[in-house]
Amino acid sequence: MVNEIADGHDLVTEPLEELYGPIADELEQVEEILRREMCSTYPYVNELIRYGALLRGKRLRPALLLLAAKCVGEPTERHLNLAAVMEMIHSATLVHDDVLDDASVRRHVATVNARWDNEASLLLGDLLFSRAFCLAAGTASMIACQLIARSAQIICEGEIRQKGRRGDFSLTEAEYLEILDAKTAELYACSCQLGAHFLEAQAADVERLTQYGRYLGIAFQISDDLLDIAGNEAETGKSLGTDLAQQKPTLPVIRALELAHGDQRDYLLSLLRGQPPGQTEPLRRFLARCGALTYARNKGREFAERAIEQVATLPPSPAQQSLRKLGQFVVARSH
């Protein structure tokens, strides 16, 4: 299994589109639904929502939903709509995140709050969120509405819990992982669950795919948090160092605090508390030297491995193969 992840290094340059191969047609249809949903007859609303659509991401959540479906059957019209719902909820959280993080660049484009203001971001996020629920309710599936609303609630709670622990460097690794599970992995898990649910898959397979999504989400967020410290703005296309500027304890920091004692620990805390934004170099060096960056990287791989194990017992298919490779991809990003 470790080899699967080690191979992942190559995947950074391997286009994601290849992994999306088995669901290329379906993703195209999801794009059409998104184009239809992300517009308005009111000029100012249209301007805002079209700009929101410009912040086009990796479409990871729709892809997960469709790949999970493809692992156990053939995606239906309902899957396409729910895949669009997942992307819209994700976009809503991103737009609101940008207010929280006071970020100015996302996906290589100025964020809504940088281009307009925080109010515009707040309202656009609300609109995307309510449109997503409209589209979900339009699928006439009660269970989908329930799962999606429940996930949205868990995500909000995760964000609030994270905010409550800002500047609190006593946060443990277990608590950190719990928060990641809520604020990030929940939507991955929900995407996979919805994908598998409507195709009369066996309960055990639905459960395995849901767990796959959860572990993948945690691996992804650990690696995203690593990029915020050790990444490159030009490559990632977004504002970095915001976690450190906001004194948000992430895994490398939690690990380094576990390892450091005495003067070392005091020095680290002073770096964490005094750190002015954009001057992350001394802290980054500290985290690299004590092995905390490597530790976090390995932890991300560990969760990616667990994700891959979940789908290993599913019948081999191009979709199943893609899910395995996605496990490698999410951690390869931070290498």
Please list, in sequence order, all residues whose beta carbon lies within 8 angstroms of the beta carbon of residue 241, skipping any fewer than 6 positions away. 228, 229, 277, 278, 280
The single residue among 71, 136, 209, 240 that binds a copy of itself, judged by CB under 8 A, is 136
- Contact between 163 and a copy of itself by CB under 8 A: the answer reads yes
- Contact between 159 and a copy of itself by CB under 8 A: the answer reads yes
The single residue among 78, 107, 115, 161 that binds a copy of itself, judged by CB under 8 A, is 161
- Contact between 170 and a copy of itself by CB under 8 A: the answer reads no
Site for a copy of itself in 192-251 (CB under 8 A): none
Instruction: Pull the structure tokens for residue 91.
Output: 């976009």
User: Which of residues 155 and 293 has its CB atom nearest to a copy of itself in the complex?
Assistant: 155
Instruction: Pull the structure tokens for residue 77.
Output: 């019209």
The single residue among 55, 100, 114, 230 that binds a copy of itself, judged by CB under 8 A, is 100
Rounded Cα–Cα distance for residues 38 and 92 (Å): 12
Closest distance to a copy of itself from the beta carbon of 162 (Å) = 9
Strands 105-106 and 109-110: antiparallel
- Contact between 164 and a copy of itself by CB under 8 A: the answer reads yes
Q: Quote helix, strand, coil % in the chain, to nearest 5.
A: 75, 0, 20
> Is 5 in contact with 325 (CB distance < 8 Å)?
no
* Cα 110 to Cα 116, 122, 238, 278, distances in angstroms: 10, 16, 9, 18
Rounded Cα–Cα distance for residues 106 and 57 (Å): 9
- Contact between 43 and a copy of itself by CB under 8 A: the answer reads yes
Rounded Cα–Cα distance for residues 106 and 333 (Å): 17
The single residue among 160, 273, 278, 285 that binds a copy of itself, judged by CB under 8 A, is 160
- Contact between 157 and a copy of itself by CB under 8 A: the answer reads yes
- Contact between 86 and a copy of itself by CB under 8 A: the answer reads no
SS3 3: helix
Closest distance to a copy of itself from the beta carbon of 159 (Å) = 5
- Contact between 174 and a copy of itself by CB under 8 A: the answer reads no
User: Residue 173 is which amino acid?
Assistant: E
Closest distance to a copy of itself from the beta carbon of 47 (Å) = 8
Closest distance to a copy of itself from the beta carbon of 167 (Å) = 13
SS3 217: helix
Instruction: Pull the structure tokens for residue 223.
Output: 């690696």
Segment contacting a copy of itself by CB under 8 A, of 124-132, 199-207, 257-265, 283-291: 124-132
In the 8-state DSSP scheme, what is residue 182?
Answer: I
Please list, in sequence order, all residues whose beta carbon lies within 8 angstroms of the beta carbon of residue 66, skipping any fewer than 6 positions away. 23, 26, 27, 30, 75, 79, 80, 83, 195
The Cα angle at residue 322 between residues 321 and 326, in degrees rounded to 5: 120
Closest distance to a copy of itself from the beta carbon of 121 (Å) = 9
Binding mask 265-304 for a copy of itself (x = CB under 8 A): ----------------------------------------
How large is the angle between the packed helices 251-259 and 292-312, nearest 10 degrees? 130
The single residue among 129, 212, 220, 295 that binds a copy of itself, judged by CB under 8 A, is 129
- Contact between 156 and a copy of itself by CB under 8 A: the answer reads yes
> Is 22 in contact with 322 (CB distance < 8 Å)?
yes
Q: Point out which residues bind a copy of itself (CB under 8 A).
A: 40, 42-45, 48, 96, 99-100, 118-120, 122-127, 129-131, 133-134, 136-138, 140, 142, 145-146, 148-150, 152-153, 155-157, 159-161, 163-165
